[in-house]
Amino acid sequence: MKHRTIAFIGGGNMASSLIGGLIAGGWPAQAIRVAEPFAEKRQSLAAQFSVFITADNNEAVAGAQVVVLAVKPAVVNSVAHEIGAAVRSQASLVVSIAAGVREPDIRRWLGFEASVVRAMPNTPALVGSGATGLYANASVSQAQRDLAESILRAVGMVLWVQEEAMMDTVTALSGSGPAYFFLLMELLEEAGNRLGLEPETTRLLTLETAFGAAKMALESTDDPATLRQRVTSPGGTTERTVQRLEQGGIRDLVASALEAARDRAAEIGNELGSD
């Protein structure tokens, strides 16, 4: 695929991760432009990636085939109004990684029927192991879908959803998901320490166990339930632990937690688009 010019509006952590992943994958630095309001961050990005940096959003957007909205959700409204005319004149694809901001609102703020892809990456993208959900509106061509996918794939795997409402579920599952696993690791460490292990020992055992379990699941064709059953010996310690978790209502708790996250994502979308 020919390398298109990409303009990032916002140069924060997620944008930096995408830029780094793109360049590492062979995307030329001269085809990447970044608009960033903070001078210190501009200097850092220029030194790290040798890409074009400016404080002017429209200067960054000029000539770009793709515009990535990598700003805070509350800022998307004003940014879209500012760059709408330029985006329209050059028929740029707009990729938004701003959590909760809905595609119809982005189009409304841009002022025309723009080609918009919503992306929900998660924080492991910062280490090249992200999971991103994507949604494209009806104006996005197949070539543009491929282009959006190639950009987000620079920091991990990507999956498409057919209905935008499913992006709230993606947010609940994978967008917020790293925190759930961090919480479980936190609790395992605390319990291991209470049971007498040295903190550093507990930490290393917890991290390697989490990594190993994820690696086994990724490399296996079996589902997690089958893998769990395979490592649960009848009458053993694992079975006792799983039984205690089941008795504590872990299944209902996880289901209700994800529902709460999904509902909150929908609420945020309503709040951001209520202007």
Average pLDDT, the chain: 96
Distances (CA, A) of 25 to 67, 119, 168: 19, 20, 30
Strands 66-69 and 130-136: unpaired
Q: Where in the chain is the domain with CATH 3.40.50.720?
A: 6-167
- Region 177-268: CATH code: 1.10.3730.10
Residue 135: is its pLDDT beyond 60?
yes
Alpha helices per DSSP H over the chain: 13-24, 39-49, 57-61, 76-90, 103-110, 142-152, 166-170, 177-194, 199-219, 224-230, 237-247, 250-272
Angle at 101 between CA 98 and CA 105, to 5 degrees: 135
Is the Cβ–Cβ distance between 9 and 94 less than 8 Å? no
Write the DSSP symbol of residue 161. Answer: -
pLDDT at 275: 72
Q: What is the CA radius of gyration of the chain?
A: 21
pLDDT in tens, 136-154: 999 999 999 999 999 999 9
**pLDDT value of position 98:** 93
Render pLDDT for 16-67 as a digit per residue (tens, 0 to 9): 999 999 999 999 999 999 999 999 999 999 999 999 999 999 999 999 999 9
User: Which has the closest alpha carbon to 232: 216, 243, 222, 221?
Assistant: 243
Of 74, 58, 61, nearest in space to 33 by CA = 61
Name which CATH class applies to 6-167.
alpha beta
272: which 2 tokens? 């951001």
- Cβ(203)–Cβ(189) below 8 Å: yes
Predicted TM-score of the model (pTM): 0.91
Instruction: State percent of the chain over pLDDT 90.
Output: 98
Q: Which residues contact 214 (CB under 8 A, 6 or more apart)?
A: none
SS3 track for 206-273: HHHHHHHHHHHHHHCCCCHHHHHHHCCCCCCHHHHHHHHHHHCCHHHHHHHHHHHHHHHHHHHHHHHC
Give start-end residues of each CATH 1.10.3730.10 domain in the chain. 177-268
Confidence of residue 2 (pLDDT cuts 50, 70, 90): low
According to the model, what pLDDT value does residue 113 have? 97
